[in-house]
Amino acid sequence: MAHYYSEPSRTFSEYLLVPGYTSPECVPDNVTLCAPLVKFKKGEEPAIKLNVPFTSAIMQSVSNDTMAIALAKEGGISFIYGSQSIEAEAAMVASVKNHKAGFVVSDSNITPDQTLADVIALRELHGHSTIAVTDNGKANGKLLGIVTSRDYRVSRMSTDTKVSEFMTPLEKLVIAPKETTLKEANDIIWDHKLNSLPIVDDNGNLMYFVFRKDYSQHKDNPLELLDNQKRYIVGAGINTRDYAERVPALVEAGVDVLCIDSSEGYSCWQKQTIDYIRANYGDTVKIGAGNVVDRDGFMFLAEAGADFIKVGIGGGSICITREQKGIGRGQATALIEVAAARDEYFEKTGIYVPICSDGGIVHDYHMTLALAMGADFLMLGRYFARFDESPTEKLNINGTYVKEYWGEGSNRARNWQRYDLGGKTGLSFEEGVDSYVTYAGSLHDNLQRSIYKIKSTMCNCGVINLADLQKEAKITLVSATSIVEGGYHDVVLKTANPKI
């Protein structure tokens, strides 16, 4: 007879945190959100720690090198998507590891023969007012000039005016050679009252921009996640098919941690993948595994040697695994059981294997609940897909700005390796959808707002670190009626332009 669980599986929206005593030291500025990323022995420190408990999902529409750099600046880590060629993924990893903090590769580039209409389109696409004019319209082409918002007025110029007629030409620009340090670049910016400084190589090809605003932003990012060579830390996704070819290339590119990207991790193929890494690299290469939703799945992957384990099946906003297969579990229930298994394993072995809550986050308060329920850190897809730094296009749909967002199991991604069960290749049916998410602006501004909410809630609970939150949190189930009570009710909302 099949095993039946006596309780239904629950989602985060069915729980609330109950306040604890808030002491004088419980203020947001005192709260730390540091969390272990990989396993460690009792009494020791993990090889990699997060400064904030956020990772971006292993998805085409979320995690590329741009996202990885932006999130590392904030203290988190991205796992660059693996549903691309080995060479392309390794190149993204190398791009992050080679990135010079403060030196920005231009993503808005144009040729002199293009028009004001093209400038306007580029600005709407990327949101940047500084556009490089190069001979071939590429980021590393020969620099011929720049265009900023001071060079044109849409109301006074024809949109078919050529860029060459209104750009600031090279001879009027202050530029710097490739050997320029960040400190020297910022001194030049301040001495000449510039907003940006192009860095060019010996042949006059554009290499980077250094922006005045980035200097203050660098000062505002004390939690940057860096390795011992002061390079940004980055992760990458792998699958259980081509790991013998993909892993060496990613390690060569400098990846800090890998993660098996799979819809369901309680499988022999995940163990085979971990076995390969341990046989060839020992413990020097860190590897996460998953996803699982119960004690058995966690214990299997922990004993297989995973450095962290992801929790969650079917809870993502673009995931339809539960609809298609009837497989999954409410994210809150899955997380509670796996967290208990992690603590049991730690008590038995002295090895702490961090768990990552992957999916089911709809509201910011769900983040705090997930951490209180035992998650060491969170993996988010939809949340990060909304930002400037995600790799998708920003579109205007019916007057609203959106960004594209699709699942790895959708026909668009066709990431069949993620759903591999050892049989034929190819995607037999969809387990994800193709969609839009409402555009939200910059990662920095939005993430800082979410972090402040988490810190504030932790203070309400009477704790100032995540370990104490997991020990001291009081969590209650809520009824359907109390969920209604928790929102606005029995009022008429004011309209934007009420009639008098």
Pair type for strands 308-311 and 355-358? parallel
Q: Which of 259, 319, 459, 461 is catalytic?
A: 319
3-class SS of residue 175: coil
* Closest alpha carbon to 238 in 300, 287, 272: 287
Identify the H or E element spanning 280: helix 268-281
Q: Which residues contact 68 (CB under 8 A, 6 or more apart)?
A: 56, 77, 78, 80, 92, 96, 232, 234, 235
- What gap in Å lies between CA 340 and CA 450, rounded to an integer? 27
Burial level of 437, CB count in 10 A (0-12/13-18/19+)?
buried
Q: Of 378, 396, 389, 408, which is closest to residue 436 (Cα–Cα)? A: 396
For 230, the 3-state DSSP assignment is coil
> Which of 345, 311, 313, 310 has the alpha carbon at shortest distance from 38?
310
Q: Per the omega criterion (within 30 degrees of 0), is the bond before 291 cis?
A: yes
* DSSP states of 332-356: HHHHHHHHHHHHHHHHHHSEE--EE
Whether the CB-CB separation of 414 and 421 falls below 8 Å is answered with no
- DSSP codes, 286-318: EEEEEEE-SHHHHHHHHHHT-SEEEE-SS-STT
> Is there a catalytic annotation at residue 156?
no
- Please name the residue that has the structure tokens 């049989």: 423
DSSP 399-448: TEEEEEEE-TTSTTT--GGGG--SS-SS--S-SB-EEEEE--B-HHHHHH
From the candidates 329, 342, 418, 459, give the one annotated as an active-site residue.
418
Active site residue 268: no
Type of residue numbered 458: M
Q: Which long-range contacts (CB under 8 A, 24 or more apart) does 342-345 make?
A: 342/298, 342/302, 342/309, 342/374, 343/374, 344/295, 345/298, 345/299, 345/302
Catalytic residues: 319, 418
